[in-house]
Amino acid sequence: MTAFATRIAILRNKTRALWRETKSSFLIAIFLALILTTAALLAEWRGAVDANDAIEALREGRDVAVEANGWPETILARVAFLAARSEIDRARALVEALDRSASIEARARGHYLLANALLRKAFDHIERSELEAANPFVNLAKREYRRALQLAPDYWDAKFNLDVAARIVRDFPDFERNSGDELSADPKKLWTDIPGKPKGLP
């Protein structure tokens, strides 16, 4: 018991001596580390403010260039801007950039915005009675909605709009399925059809 107590005391004295020796350099190191952390946080805050300025501009309808590896929120704001103006190809490039890095929610929203743009384009064609041209847009939109739902199964807006898209062009399986997981869901094995727009009585 006493040997143990002595050992404890020796250990405590050694620790104290070590603390006295290293205290000065330890304090300096802590100070420098905290300075660096503060600088990094301030830089992050500065970046966030810039990003919010860009988002504000995009929401008001002014186009601002964004970096493909920037803040996901900024990229999403620009995707929304492009999608509202039917610039599908440029929006798709940004959504693909999001897919590489952003969070699940941001990716789901990117696919949803892209799908909405595609479906609005299909509506344009349908209103001009260009049913053949509308068909691929509807199918692309359905694929994007499905992607969004695969990422975020509780995305109710995506569910609703997928419902809308699926009623424009129905999928019909081209054969009876019976044996489960060996079956592929190859889009070529589905045939799609668009119901004709009634043109009124003859």
Q: By the criterion CB under 8 A, which residues form the site for another protein?
A: 23-24, 27-28, 30-31, 34-35, 37-38, 41-42, 44-45, 48-49, 51-52, 55-56, 58-59, 71, 73-74, 76-77, 80, 83-84, 109, 113, 116, 119-120, 123, 126-127, 146, 149-150, 153-164, 166-167, 171, 173, 177-181, 183-185, 187, 189-190
Q: Is 69 helix (H, G, I), strand (E, B) or coil?
A: coil
Which residue, 11 or 41, has its beta carbon nearer to another protein?
41
Which residue, 116 or 135, has its beta carbon nearer to another protein?
116
* Distances 14 to 7, 9, 10, 29, 31 between C-alpha atoms, Å: 10, 9, 6, 22, 25
State the nearest-atom distance from the C-beta of 77 to another protein, in Å: 4
Q: Is the dihedral of CA 100, 106, 112, 113 positive or negative?
A: negative
Judge residue 145's burial from the number of C-beta atoms within 10 Å of its C-beta, 0-12 exposed, 13-18 middle, 19 or more buried: buried
Which residue, 14 or 167, has its beta carbon nearer to another protein?
167
Q: Where are the alpha helices (DSSP H) in the chain?
A: 2-59, 72-84, 88-101, 104-127, 131-151, 156-168
State the nearest-atom distance from the C-beta of 51 to another protein, in Å: 5
Which residue, 130 or 157, has its beta carbon nearer to another protein?
157
State the nearest-atom distance from the C-beta of 167 to another protein, in Å: 7
Which residue, 130 or 153, has its beta carbon nearer to another protein?
153
State the nearest-atom distance from the C-beta of 5 to another protein, in Å: 15
Which amino acid belongs to residue 181?
D
State the nearest-atom distance from the C-beta of 202 to another protein, in Å: 23
The tokens describing 146, both together, are: 């499905």
- Vertex 92: Cα angle to 88 and 93 (nearest 5): 125
